[in-house]
Structures are given as structure tokens and as C-alpha cells.
A = this chain, B = another copy of it.
Amino acid sequence: MLPKPLRGVIPPMVTPLLDNRTLDLKGLERLVEHILDGKVHGLFLLGTTGEAPNLSYDLRHELVRRVCKQVNGRVPVLVGITDTVFTESMRLAESAARAGAEALVAAPPYYFTPGQPELVEYYTHLASSLPLPLFLYNMPSHTKVMIDPYTVRTLAENDNIAGLKDSSANIVYFNTVRHLLRDRVDFSVLMGPEEALGEVVLMGGHGGVCGGANLFPALFVETYDAAVAGDTARVRALQERIMKVGGALYGVGRHVSSFLKGVKCSLDLMGICGDFMAEPFSRFREEERSIIRSRLLALGANVVKE
């Protein structure tokens, strides 16, 4: 069952692909076990890191079914249903519920830019139609709209809205939402960027949705645990290590897609799953791959491929 509030490290899982229409099934199995071995507190499918908007719908449904079956209740599975089409969000939500997922996650529809009252209407309708609790997903760099802190507070009145994942990187926004909802002990506010996991949990926050936990899940869980224990020195040291990983692997390449390409390339080099990227993106070419490879080695990662 979904803890209230949801706490801990909930990695946004990469989607292993063989090609634009086919899951990398062996890689997927390995990746799920690799992440769960890190003692994470949940698993988030079909987020930004999961390339969800670029995946065919059949693939999305298949991914949810397979992962829920494999996880089999060991941790709660959250499923991203962000879509510009309301009925597709609903269809995926129903699939997720049938498969045994625990919660859903939705960023605002992202072609047209809704106003705040339109967001309230949209999320209210969505949440009241869904078979599972909903997490709001603030992702202004990709959706062009901030879910205003007061909009979050209004929506938090809805019993079926269980939390917020904030990927804005805006610490004023994050702390303002936390402050406005300080009396809502069952409402989870999760930090997107892993660069701020430690401090946010030290301050009493609930946890993070850390992309790097695809690669090194235990590192993030240890950071979270140290922060919960109030072990400030250890949080600092571990967070420094998180920064080192990001500095090494996320900034190779010139485009916004560099983070995603770096994570997938690393997973491939570590023998966990393939690095195929869904259109419109392409995996790293040899030049970037060899940079990633040497950096992984420098980080002490278990590199098993060229």
C-alpha cells in the first residue's frame, strides 16, 4: 500500500529499449533488480527520465504491466500518465491500476499552456476520475508552466491528490510549497533534482525522485537515510559524491538531452540495459561514449563493456 506521506528515494526509471517500438526485456529485468537492490522506497515509471512522451502507447502499457509484475509489491510503483490527451491519461491509469501500481503522476498538459484556474479544473477532474492516488508533477522547463504554490494548496484539498514532485530546481518554490502544506502531514513533497536531496531531507522533506538512482541506487538511499538520521557530516560527504557523479556523466554532449543520453550510455557500459533512445533522440556516438566510459571508471563503477 502507498505510505502517507510517501517518503524516501523513488527513482524515475529509465526505459530500456531495443528500438523505437520494442522494450529491451532482459535489460528491463536487470534494471529493475539493480534499482531494487539499492533498497529504494518506490519506483517511478514513465517520467521524464523514462522518456515517456516519446514512447508509443503500446510500449507504455507493456512497461507498466511487466514492471508491476516483476516488482510484485516489494515497493510501491508510481506511473506517469502525463499526456496532452485526457483519455490517454485515463487509459494508462486504468492499466496501471489493473497491473498493481500504487499511484499515478501527472505533469500539466504541455502543448497549450494552461492558466492556474485551468490547472485547478484539469487536475480536479483528473483526480476525481482516476482509480489511484495522483501526484502532481511540476516541470516548468518542459511544460512551460509552474503549478503555483497556491494552486498546489488548493489541489491538496482533494483526497485523491497525494503529493507533488517538483522538478523546477527552484528552491524558493519548493520551500514555499512545503511551508503552505506544513499542516498536511499526509501530503508528500518530493524533490526532483538529486543535487538537493540531502539538504531537503535534513530540513524535514519527504525525499526525492533522483535520476541518478538508476545508476547508483544505494548512494541515494544512504544519503536519504543519513539525512533522516540527522547525520549532517555524512549527508555532506554523500551529497558530494552525488555531485561528482552528475558532474562526470550528465554534461557530456551539447543538448538538453545530454542527461538522458549520459544515463543510458552509462547503464549500457555497466551491462545493465541498452542505450537506445526513443525518437527524436539518438544514443551517444563513439566520442561521447568513450568520455562516459573513462569517467565511469574514474568513479569506480563496474564497467563491463567497451
Contacts and interface: CB of A to CB of B under 8 A. Distances in A.
B85 A54 contact: yes
Contact of A112 (B109, B233, B256): B256
Interface stretch (A213-221, A262-270, A274-282): A274-282
A175 interface: yes
Interface stretch (A7-15, A190-198, A289-297): A190-198
A225 to B, nearest CB: 15
B172 A196 contact: yes
B193 A198 contact: no
A280 B196 contact: no
B53 A112 contact: yes
Contact of A179 (B21, B48, B240): B240
A203 B235 contact: yes
Interface string A96-107: 000000000000
A63 B150 CA distance: 39
Interface stretch (A28-36, A65-73, A117-125): A117-125
Given A20-B87, A118-B280, A243 B112 contact: no
A20 B85 CA distance: 9
B112 A54 contact: yes
Nearest to A232: B230
Interface in A220-248: 230, 232-233, 235-236, 239-240, 243-244, 246-247
A169 interface: yes
Contact of A195 (B117, B171, B193, B246): B171
A54 B171 contact: no
A84 interface: yes
B175 A195 contact: yes
Copies in the complex: 4
Nearest to A243: B179
Contacts of A86: 20, 54, 278-280
B53 A121 contact: no
Which has the most chain B C-beta neighbours within 10 Å: A84, A169, A233, A239? A84
A172 B244 CA distance: 13
Contact of A171 (B108, B171, B254): B171
A231 to B, nearest CB: 10
A260 to B, nearest CB: 8
A239 B203 contact: yes
A287 B230 CA distance: 45
Contacts of A176: 195, 243, 246-247
A109 B280 contact: yes
B114 A111 contact: no
Contacts of A118: 255, 257, 280-282
Given A112-B256, A170-B171, A198-B203, 10 more contacts: A53-B84, A54-B84, A54-B109, A86-B278, A112-B257, A115-B254, A175-B195, A182-B240, A199-B202, A230-B233
**7 pairs of A and B residues whose beta carbons are closest in the complex:** A115-B255, A122-B280, A86-B279, A53-B111, A199-B199, A53-B84, A179-B243
